[in-house]
Chain A
């Protein structure tokens, strides 16, 4: 609990294991040695120019960094604000997830691990991990909730084509949180050979800090690009928040720019007033989940509640601890976006710009459209964290544009 010690220090310099009273390491004893080893290895990597150079090379030559900043001219006109899109959707594998995956694969290699395991919700992190495993010549097992394997069938096929073993998880709510449980069980049993490649800024230390660091380029690039394009900082930075990795990545560079509003959009599912949502900060309370203390959806007995969202990648009942802290200290704001609002924004961006966003990212676009109505003329930087190819079937059903044959598939 080092919030007090760090008072006055730049927010950008804040590190784990504790973000205020959030974070920590709440893991079963059998995994503590692996977690300590990982934390020590990551410290060494941070200080090693060779590691940083290799990560930068992969980010440039393999991922395609820096990603572009696109001014959404027609959407801006319709919305009445200047909307800039940080194009993580154009990264190799189609989302921001690859940034973290390449970083952790390098760490795993340094640890002598030969097998990568990961959880995935929408499948983007699973695809990215399977991609890194192919690139590094490692074995790969992806745990995915059975519900998600059904709604993201194309990504399942992509992972299998890349050589990964995709294991549908049938326990609990059969979504992302249960996939994480199953991944952690695998890790306990195979810790000597295996690195657990956590896909978001959640879990026990060092994951929240390490994953954030591997995504920091999103915000650093976007900050420079925005200044170059507009001559100043944006009025607000908006990103969707499930676990919160793309949001931490883009927020981080702006944490000490006090005039820039940081707005995380949580998935409100059927609506913020309903019981079917994924509003971990908006409706949750502090508790323990997946080895960290954070805001989470839970009942009076401390049982984790199931989250709901049309977007598999936001369908998670917890959130990264740094977001919980940024919320409490008032540096970032977290607002709900319902399935319906997200899909409306999905279509608006697609039609106005010819850019089909991931449904996750459409939540951020929806937040920008809402803010544009409140603050016309403002400059809004939006994290377009992923592309929507994987969501075409879901969107096709939502907007009823599928032919009969396709509907039956």
Chain B
């Protein structure tokens, strides 16, 4: 059992150049999904986002939908999630955040879910269809069990809604890059940079800290590098899921390594003069390599 590091500390330890890899639990089977999560942590992911397959995944594009649907069709049960979190956290120190639509948590019991997640070594939850105004029960449970809660901010969010996401979030603010669903895109919208800047400005204006990790559409090392120009982390999902589906654990490990190359500094000359983008977070040490898990 490795010592647990908080999500915020892990992002800071990466020099605010975090790579967060998403994979659905149980895809293509439970064992492989655990191996894949460990592999991407070893290959340079700062944190793991483990998705819970759900019957009505409104925020997911075709690649993740197909993967989670096949997982449900083979009979996925929620208990597998807690087993997987325990198995992954036993083998890597990278924080494991669970991405879940809200009804499975509600059905399981919010506090019971939080308790089991914490017991398994999970870091917290990312909740795509639970906004802070509906999250009172979850925020209380997260407090009780010392779990991260990651809420979304979108290009369409008002300042007031961004303020609320910053206030309610712990871990980071999920910075939705583009108005759409998950899925690889050739260009990550300019909207992402604008939103990351707005979140930083709102955090500064309200005297809070906000780590901003950008997700939706990021699929290559070059895009990771672009995103890390202005954000504290890049989240990659569909590209990893596609690699896992097509080439298994070796393929997903290879892709994670090439994505992690995007977290490296651009070179000694740049590194000396390029400040960490966010002025509102305490800058960690700018490391010359991606954060490695203890076993790597």
The residues of A with any CB-CB pair to B shorter than 8 Å are 24-34, 36, 171-172, 177-178, 181, 184-185, 188-192, 287-291, 298, 300-304
Contacts and interface: CB of A to CB of B under 8 A. Distances in A.
Contacts of A29: 128, 131, 151-154, 157, 161, 165, 176
Interface of B: 54-59, 61, 65, 69, 72, 77-78, 101-108, 128-131, 133-134, 151-158, 161, 165, 176, 179-181
Contacts of A190: 179
A30 B78 contact: no
23 contacts: A25-B131, A26-B130, A26-B131, A29-B165, A30-B59, A30-B152, A30-B156, A30-B176, A171-B65, A172-B55, A181-B56, A185-B58, A188-B179, A188-B181, A190-B179, A289-B56, A289-B103, A291-B129, A298-B107, A302-B78, A302-B103, A302-B107, A303-B54
A303 B151 CA distance: 22
A398 to B, nearest CB: 30
B102 A28 contact: no
Contact of B58 (A181, A192, A303): A181
A26 B56 contact: no
A31 B154 CA distance: 9
A302 B79 CA distance: 12
Nearest to A30: B154
Contacts of A181: 56-58
A296 to B, nearest CB: 8
A191 B179 contact: yes
Contacts of A24: 134
The 10 closest A-B pairs by CB, nearest first: A302-B107, A302-B104, A30-B154, A33-B156, A29-B152, A189-B180, A304-B55, A302-B103, A288-B103, A301-B78
Contacts of B151: 29
A189 B58 contact: no
Contacts of A192: 179
A382 to B, nearest CB: 33
A31 B161 CA distance: 12
A304 B129 CA distance: 15
A181 B72 CA distance: 17
Contact of B102 (A191, A288, A290): A288
Nearest to B57: A181
A343 B228 CA distance: 62
Among the interface residues B78, B107, B176, which one has the most CB atoms of the partner chain A within 10 A?
A: B107
A26 B130 CA distance: 6
A74 B137 CA distance: 57
Contacts of B154: 28-30, 32-33
Contacts of A178: 56
A176 to B, nearest CB: 12
B69 A172 contact: yes
B264 to A, nearest CB: 31
A145 to B, nearest CB: 13
A181 B106 CA distance: 20
A189 B179 contact: yes
A27 B103 contact: no
B181 to A, nearest CB: 5
Given A30-B154, A33-B157, A191-B179, A302 B106 contact: yes
B179 A288 contact: no
Contacts of B155: 30
Nearest to B178: A189
Given A26-B134, A29-B131, A301 B157 contact: no
A28 B128 CA distance: 5
Given A28-B128, A302-B107, A303-B104, A191 B55 contact: no
Contacts of B161: 29, 32-33
Among the interface residues A177, A287, A291, which one has the most CB atoms of the partner chain B within 10 A?
A: A287
Contacts of A172: 55-56, 69
A289 B55 CA distance: 10
A29 B165 CA distance: 10
A27 B59 CA distance: 10
Among the interface residues A29, A32, A36, which one has the most CB atoms of the partner chain B within 10 A?
A: A29
Contacts of A298: 103, 107
B77 A301 contact: yes
Given A24-B134, A28-B152, A303-B72, A288 B158 contact: no
Contacts of B72: 303
B99 to A, nearest CB: 12
Contacts of A25: 131, 133-134
A317 to B, nearest CB: 9
Among the interface residues B77, B104, B152, which one has the most CB atoms of the partner chain A within 10 A?
A: B104
A172 B57 CA distance: 10
A189 B152 CA distance: 16
A184 B77 contact: no
B250 to A, nearest CB: 29
A287 B158 contact: no
Given A26-B130, A29-B153, A33-B158, A301 B108 contact: yes
